[in-house]
């Protein structure tokens, strides 16, 4: 067990959890350094909210938010930086300035994305998503859709070592499907790629516990703990310090020799 904790940094005015807190570059940069001090292994920076009912952002506006933060951070941090985008244009610009992971929530909807990933070594997160919710889908069906998407990327020339898969918790899924994907996350690991789990503060946790977004720490930690014990190798979270401490404790227990 060797879990990598990805800290979420939203440079947006309207994200569901922390919208507006880090929209100014100086605040975002300060928060990035705080997360690294708290133990973040990766920073994931996003400029577009993907909360339920969000308004899509064009690539030009997205890059205008990202560029000052990335240009200030990248020369000054020792951890990998990821950009959360589904725009191939934004991904290309981010890779050009030194970003090493593209975290795409769209299941590679932008057909130019495979081309952008050519000629560099950036990793790519393929997240399960679809145009509409289908409550009849089983976890095996969802895994099959991820497999098909990954195979298209491999056919386009992306090396397997650069792929990460994400079950897409909170995206195009019913409450039960979200829980089932966590419960059976090992099926995603059987695809043979690192598995990223992103559950932090999401609505299904609020539904389960009857809590507002600012009260979902414990529920988030429970989903992370279950996920890493059953195959997740990366977790994407808002609460970095608490998650890192929990993961390090789980690792200590996991690594101890039998008495």
Question: Which residues form the catalytic set?
Answer: 202, 236
What residues contact 101, with CB distance under 8 A and at least 6 apart?
42, 44, 80, 81, 82, 83, 122, 123, 124, 125, 164
**CB-count burial class (<10 Å; 0-12, 13-18, 19+) for 6:** buried
Give the tokens for residue 26: 């100086």
- Say which DSSP state 258 is in: P
Q: 237 with 7: CB under 8 angstroms?
A: yes
Query: In this structure, are strands 234-237 and 4-10 parallel, antiparallel, or unpaired?
Result: parallel
C-alpha 201/C-alpha 172 separation (Å) is 17
Q: 8 with 46: CB under 8 angstroms?
A: yes
Q: 177 with 204: CB under 8 angstroms?
A: no
Give the tokens for residue 101: 């992971």
What residues contact 259, with CB distance under 8 A and at least 6 apart?
none
Our CA angle for 166, 169, 175, nearest 5°, is: 150
């Amino acid at each position: 067990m060797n879990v990598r904790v990805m800290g979420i940094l939203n440079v947006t005015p309207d994200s569901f959890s922390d919208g507006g807190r880090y929209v100014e570059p100086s605040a975002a940069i300060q928060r990035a350094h705080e997360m690294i001090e708290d133990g973040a292994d990766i920073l994931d920076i996003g400029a577009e909210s993907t909360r339920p009912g969000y308004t899509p952002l064009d690539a030009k506006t997205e890059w205008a938010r990202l560029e000052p933060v990335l240009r200030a951070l990248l020369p000054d941090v020792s951890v990998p930086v990821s950009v959360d985008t589904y725009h191939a244009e934004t991904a290309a610009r981010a890779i050009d300035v030194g970003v090493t992971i593209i975290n795409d929530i769209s299941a590679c909807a932008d057909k130019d994305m495979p081309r952008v990933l050519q000629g560099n070594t950036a990793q790519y997160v393929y997240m399960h998503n679809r145009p509409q919710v289908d409550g009849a889908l089983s976890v095996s069906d969802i895994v099959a859709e991820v497999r098909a998407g990954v195979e298209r990327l491999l056919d386009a020339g992306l090396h397997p070592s650069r792929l990460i898969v994400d079950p897409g918790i909170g995206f195009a899924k019913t409450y039960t499907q979200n829980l089932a994907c966590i419960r059976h996350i090992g099926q995603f690991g059987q695809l043979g790629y690192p598995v990223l789990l992103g559950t932090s503060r999401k609505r299904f946790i609020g539904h389960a516990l009857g809590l507002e977004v600012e009260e979902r720490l414990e529920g988030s930690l429970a989903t992370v703990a279950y996920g890493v014990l059953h195959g997740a190798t990366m977790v994407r979270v808002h609460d970095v310090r608490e998650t890192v401490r929990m993961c390090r404790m789980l690792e200590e227990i996991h690594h101890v020799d039998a008495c």
